[in-house]
Amino acid sequence: MDQIKKSILHLYPTTKFLVTLFLCISVFIVPGYLYAYSVLFICMFFSYLAGSFKEFSDLAIKALLLIVVFIFILQSFFYPGTHVIWSWSIFSIKQEGIDFALNLTSKIVAIGSSFILFFRITKVKDLISSLEALGLPPKVTYIFLSTLQIIPEMKKLTIVIMDAQKTRGVETEGKLFTRIKAFLPTLSPLILGSIAGTEERVLTLESRAFSAKVKKTSLYTVEKTKYDPIVRIILLILLITLIIWRVML
């Protein structure tokens, strides 16, 4: 089990991305919605092998459940069709709407769970290192890194501000109105702190000659494993097989 976990986690980031890309493309090749929904369970299985099942499941439920339910209800009621299953006043659920909602939400679940799995089993610094190895400019990779880190950094800063308010006697827990009331005063220091953090990062980058027009080097590199070529060949064979099967079907 530990060997399988290491094999999955130590795969090269671009190989993991190719797996994610294959899962996303395959849901558009295989007809119907059953396979697309099953991609979620495939991702759960891989997350279990990688030792991040709980984190993946929690994030997938929080990120996808509300969106999928909302879209499913919306499409079921308002998608045009003639086969009415249930109606009340101006509202009606049609068979065409349910079919369309199932196909749409299944693809959202498949694509969303694939990317959630990718970021759960791939370290950001490994991804950035692999992108730089592909030849992307450091400025592009830094923008990509900053985009991925902005929400976690703001979350950490929010927790620090809320803890500071607790020490001053401000009530931050309890009913929803109480939490909203305690959260509003944190917006100003949160925004100002984010701006100050941006200025500090700019000064740090300039002190390290980030904008200098010379070849950049890095102390941290990611090496490909012996399993990467095997995984890529398997993905290529599976993709060709699916395309041939779809054409013949």
pLDDT at residue 121 is higher than 80: yes
Domain shared by 19 and 86, yes or no: yes
Domain span holding position 67: 2-122+223-248
- Percentage with pLDDT > 70 across the chain: 80
Q: Given pLDDT bands bounded at 50, 70 and 90, which one contains residue 177?
A: low
Domain shared by 101 and 69, yes or no: yes
Q: Exposed/middle/buried for 121, CB within 10 Å: 0-12, 13-18, 19+? A: buried
Domain shared by 65 and 159, yes or no: no
Q: Please state, as a whole number, how many other Cβ atoms lie within 10 Å of the Cβ of residue 244.
A: 10
Longest dimension (CA), the chain: 70
- Candidate ranges 55-59, 82-86, 136-140, 177-181; pick with highest mean pLDDT: 55-59
Domain shared by 231 and 114, yes or no: yes
Domain-embedded: residue 32: yes
Domain shared by 20 and 85, yes or no: yes
Domain shared by 37 and 152, yes or no: no
Domain-embedded: residue 131: no
pLDDT at residue 235 is higher than 90: yes
Domain-embedded: residue 218: no
Q: Given pLDDT bands bounded at 50, 70 and 90, which one contains residue 111?
A: very high
Domain-embedded: residue 217: no
The residue to which tokens 């401000």 are assigned: 170
Domain shared by 8 and 107, yes or no: yes
Domain-embedded: residue 188: yes
Domain shared by 6 and 108, yes or no: yes
Domain shared by 185 and 233, yes or no: no
**pTM of the predicted model, to two decimals?**
0.77
The mean pLDDT value for 3-22 works out to 83
Domain shared by 156 and 237, yes or no: no
Domain shared by 231 and 202, yes or no: no
Domain-embedded: residue 35: yes
- If one counts the domains in the chain, the total is 2
Q: What are the pLDDT digits (tens) for 32-88?
A: 889 999 999 999 998 988 888 888 888 888 888 888 888 888 888 887 777 777 777
Domain-embedded: residue 168: yes
Domain shared by 112 and 154, yes or no: no
Q: Given pLDDT bands bounded at 50, 70 and 90, which one contains residue 124?
A: confident
Domain-embedded: residue 108: yes
